[in-house]
Homo-oligomer: A and B are copies of this chain.
Amino acid sequence: MAESNALPLVLLSEQFAKLPGIGMKSAQRLAYHVMSMSKEDAEAFAAAIVNVHKTVHLCSCCQNYTDLPMCPICSDVRRDHSTVCVVEGPKDVSAFERTREYKGTYHVLHGLISPIDGITPDKIRIKELLGRIDKGGISEVIMATNPTVEGEATAMYISKLLKPLGVKVTRLAFGLPIGGILEYADEITLYKALENRSEI
């Protein structure tokens, strides 16, 4: 965009390029697209961006994004409030909700422990999880972080904090993905699938 004739277009494409997964070339294309939108549509787009910051905040209970004082899941009496599924981010809540099988509640950490990136345990929402357990009524905490180094470390760290409190801590099962082909599975997945085998 250095070749562009209009500085505001350069500035807008730089804004787009800051978004994850959008390179400089896509950013340029998006900036030109915004220019080709009607003034009203562009203003609606800008307003939507400002609006999420004005109206969306963290649920006072599970820390997920919501525009209500408490999110619909935490305030739903039909959900099982004794089971808490601990996830890295709000996207993971969406993923579990799509299964339509999980009836418990969630706790969103907003990150994983990663000392190399400066993310120490106090930077993520662990304190809030301990607060919920202190209040009582929670019997099981499911650690549903990703099976990565950071996900495993976070799950281990939290489980060590929770066990002395008398809460059952569980971890998601790891194994072959449904529809996956054994031949193409990596060694660690296959080992996990073997290790966690169950009787049929």
- Contact with A28, one of B8, B11, B56, B94 (Cβ below 8 angstroms): B94
Identical chains in the assembly: 2
**Which of A42-50, A144-152, A161-169, A186-194 sits within the interface?**
A42-50
Question: Which B residues touch A42, using CB under 8 A?
Answer: 49-50, 52-53
Dominant SS at the A interface?
helix
Interface size grouping (class) on chain A: 35 or more
A51 touches B (CB below 8 Å): yes
Q: How far is the CB of A61 from chain B (nearest CB, A)?
A: 11
Partner-B contacts on A (CB < 8 A): 1, 3-9, 11-12, 15, 18-21, 26, 28-35, 37, 39, 41-56, 59, 64-68, 71-73, 89-91, 93-94, 97-98
